[in-house]
């Protein structure tokens, strides 16, 4: 016979198993990231640490009057704040991204919870798989990149728009824009939501650049011209003159013909997004949670697959949303796993010097996965309309 105290203990575990699992996963996620904190990537060595040192040497917030690197003001302002704290520079940079890893996982889990009819187990798995994804861990804790920052804001914005909190949603989109230009990959979906829901004004889109300007005020107050602030992203678009920057897309297969193809690539991407939008509007597709999630995946995937100068990190949001989607639609689990594997290898090529000759093959695999996802999801629209 089990003693009464043991019975109570077992009963307590059964009643609180979700909370216990959540705590275990959280501790494990922190522990795993702790192993990565001392890793120094070439980006950290060549860019992030020199920016941080320049901020320290030029007076922290006062240095915001200067152009340090090619990141937008809000991220640099966070680094400027951290220079006042007694924290090792590399740890400080990485901790910012790690915090947003957890926010991304929490709001990703809430998106799963909302989309799956309030299924707590699926939500917990969403938190787990996003937080422990090798891509997410490497991006922040090892590499020191901040893709989790803008992605967390985008996922928050998606959740808010689905709950009819449009004002807050567009402010959050503005926050995402303030941290990364790649937020624009999700913008076509919000345009479709506007056209299909007809529940908010087009003027809400002005909140996106307005929020960016507000978040850039620390630099403007420090004496930096507003034209400098506005032109940061414009300058970024002409920095890399290659069809692909290690992202396994179509150009990893056909070759780096930037001069001949970059304009055509942009036009072709816009046409593809336009065709997708036409189908959604023509078939009067409902703006359900499930539809918004897969359309967001498709929009980001289309952009990174066909736009020029895509880095291996630019599919980060799509890769996280594929995890969310896989928990809702079990038949998409293999797609999510294969995309994680493809992206992991491209990360390994950059971070660990793995064989880059495989980029050609990874490009073929990624393109076929994109093609399959596109055919499958747009094919399902007919069934939705028939019902």
Q: What is the pLDDT of residue 386?
A: 45
**Residue 195 within any structural domain of the chain:** no
Q: Do residues 142 and 59 share a domain? A: yes
**Residue 5 within any structural domain of the chain:** no
**Residue 46 within any structural domain of the chain:** yes
pLDDT confidence bin for 382, thresholds 50/70/90: low
Q: Do residues 88 and 123 share a domain? A: yes
Gap between the terminal Cα atoms of the chain: 56
Q: Do residues 212 and 330 share a domain? A: no
* pLDDT greater than 60 at residue 297: yes
Q: What is the pLDDT of residue 175?
A: 97
pLDDT digits (tens, 9 = 90+) for 162-197: 999 999 999 999 999 999 999 999 999 999 999 999
The pTM score is 0.95
**Residue 191 within any structural domain of the chain:** no
Token pair for 209: 């650049």
Q: What is the pLDDT of residue 295?
A: 97
Domain count, the chain: 2
Mean pLDDT of 196-219: 94
Q: What is the pLDDT of residue 238?
A: 66
Least reliable range by pLDDT among 103-107, 126-130, 205-209, 284-288: 284-288
Q: Do residues 18 and 163 share a domain? A: yes
Token pair for 92: 């400080």
**Residue 25 within any structural domain of the chain:** yes
Q: Do residues 138 and 98 share a domain? A: yes
Rounded Cα–Cα distance for residues 47 and 40 (Å): 11
Token pair for 253: 């297969």
* pLDDT greater than 90 at residue 315: yes
Residue-number span of the structural domain to which 112 is assigned:
10-184+201-222
pLDDT digits (tens, 9 = 90+) for 238-279: 667 899 999 999 999 999 999 999 999 999 999 999 999 999
Q: Do residues 217 and 259 share a domain? A: no
> In the chain, which ranges are E strands?
244-245, 310-311
203 — phi, psi (to 5°)?
Answer: -65, -20
Q: Do residues 159 and 269 share a domain? A: no
Q: Do residues 168 and 46 share a domain? A: yes
Q: What angle is formed at CA 225 by the lines to CA 222 and CA 227, rounded to 5 degrees?
A: 145
């Amino acid at each position: 016979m089990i003693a009464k105290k043991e019975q109570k203990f077992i009963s307590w575990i059964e009643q609180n198993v979700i909370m216990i699992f959540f705590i275990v996963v959280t501790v494990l996620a922190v522990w795993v990231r702790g192993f990565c904190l001392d890793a120094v990537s070439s980006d950290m060595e060549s860019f992030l640490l020199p920016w941080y040192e320049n901020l320290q040497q030029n007076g922290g917030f006062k240095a915001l009057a200067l152009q340090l690197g090619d990141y937008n003001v809000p991220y640099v302002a966070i680094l400027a704040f951290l220079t006042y704290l007694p924290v090792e520079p590399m740890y400080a940079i990485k901790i910012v991204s790690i915090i947003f890893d957890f926010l991304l996982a929490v709001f990703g889990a809430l998106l799963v919870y909302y989309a799956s009819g309030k299924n707590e187990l699926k939500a917990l798995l969403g938190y787990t798989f996003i937080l422990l994804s090798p891509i997410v861990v490497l991006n922040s804790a090892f590499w020191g990149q901040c893709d989790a920052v803008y992605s967390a804001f985008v996922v928050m914005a998606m959740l808010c728009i689905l709950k009819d909190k449009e004002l807050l949603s567009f402010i959050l989109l503005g926050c995402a824009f303030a941290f990364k230009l790649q937020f624009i990959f999700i913008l076509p979906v919000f345009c479709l939501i506007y056209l299909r829901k007809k529940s908010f004004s087009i003027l809400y889109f002005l909140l996106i650049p307005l929020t960016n300007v507000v978040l850039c005020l620390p630099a403007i107050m420090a004496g930096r011209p507003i034209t400098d602030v506005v032109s940061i992203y414009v300058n970024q678009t002409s920095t890399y003159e290659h069809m692909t920057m290690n992202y396994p897309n179509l150009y990893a297969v056909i070759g780096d013909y930037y001069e001949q193809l970059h304009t055509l690539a942009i036009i072709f991407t816009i046409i593809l997004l336009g065709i997708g939008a036409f189908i959604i509007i023509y078939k009067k597709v409902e703006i359900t949670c499930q539809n918004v999630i897969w359309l967001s995946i498709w929009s980001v995937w289309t952009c990174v697959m066909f736009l020029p100068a895509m880095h291996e990190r630019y599919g980060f949001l799509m890769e996280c949303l594929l995890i969310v989607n896989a928990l809702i639609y079990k038949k998409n689990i293999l797609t999510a796993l294969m995309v994680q594997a493809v992206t992991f290898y491209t990360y390994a090529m950059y971070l660990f010097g793995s064989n880059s000759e495989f980029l050609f093959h990874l490009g073929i695999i990624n393109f076929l996965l994109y093609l399959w996802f596109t055919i499958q999801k747009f094919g399902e629209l007919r069934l939705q309309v028939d019902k």
